[in-house]
Amino acid sequence: MFVVTIDQRGSRTHGDRVPHLLADLSTYHGTGRAPLRGFERTVGDEVQAVYEDAADVVDVALHVLRGGGWTVGIGAGPVDEPLPSSPRAGSGVAFVLARAAVEAAKSRSRSVPLAVRGRDDGAGRDAEAVLVLVAAVAARRSEAGWAVADAMSSGSVRQEDLADRMGVTQQAVSQRLRTALWAEERAARPAAARLLAWAQGVGEDRPARG
């Protein structure tokens, strides 16, 4: 299992943004792939949810980081079962690790406010490294880069159709995608998800470390 804990940054300056975040995440999950236990405010300006699927965790973490203003901690490991209906009442290794992760992510030395802690510590830190790299790449995108990346990520448009819609050449669309490192990001997400799955430390097959 995966516990995702998200804490607001700079709440004294910007006020309580948790209601806005919860509304955004509700809309985001409305497109499918909802968490096992949805996001709820736990304490103060912090929210938490429980996921089964590592790929969903990767996607929601990067979505939240893109919006800015939040610290993300991911705990990977077992939870005490039966899992209660509210994540606030949950317990187990993944919850403890998520708490450690979100606290680690608050470090001012981090360029990306995200941390992963797993029952398999090595896999957890590897997953963190990939996620941080992907988030750092995405943070450098221009508005035009995000426009083409979002459109292509939806899977419902071809480059030539997107070029017509935007009033630019297909070559311009291709150039924006290359500059945005869109293909590289899409290739890295499954790698991050695989590492997260291994970080649970529950016997998934994985290559031995050298």
Q: At what angle do helices 182-199 and 54-67 cross, to 10 degrees?
A: 130
How far from chain centre, in Å, is Cα 46?
A: 16
From CA 115, how far away is CA 129, in angstroms rounded? 9
**Residue 78 belongs to domain spanning:** 2-120+192-199
pLDDT at 74 over 80: yes
- Rounded CA separation 99/97 (Å): 5
Question: What value does the mean pLDDT take over residues 135-162?
Answer: 89
Residues 30-59 pLDDT 10s: 877 789 999 999 988 999 999 999 999 999
- Can you tell me the distance from the alpha carbon of 19 to that of 8, in angstroms, rounded to the nearest whole number? 11
Domain total in the chain: 1
115-129, 139-153, 188-202: least confident range: 139-153
The mean per-residue pLDDT over the stretch 8-17 comes to 80
Q: Is residue 67 part of a domain?
A: yes
Give the domain CATH number at 40.
Answer: 3.30.70
pLDDT of residue 210: 43
Residue 80 lies in a domain: yes
Q: What is the CA radius of gyration of the chain?
A: 18
Contact 3, 95 (CB under 8 A): yes
Query: Residue 4: enclosing H or E segment and its boundaries?
Result: strand 2-8
In a domain, 152, yes or no: no
What's the pTM?
0.91
Tens of pLDDT, residue by residue over 89-142, are 999 999 999 999 999 999 888 889 999 999 999 999 999 999 999 999 999 999
In-domain check, residue 32: yes
Contact call for residues 70 and 4 (beta carbons, < 8 A): no
Predicted local confidence at residue 53, as pLDDT: 96
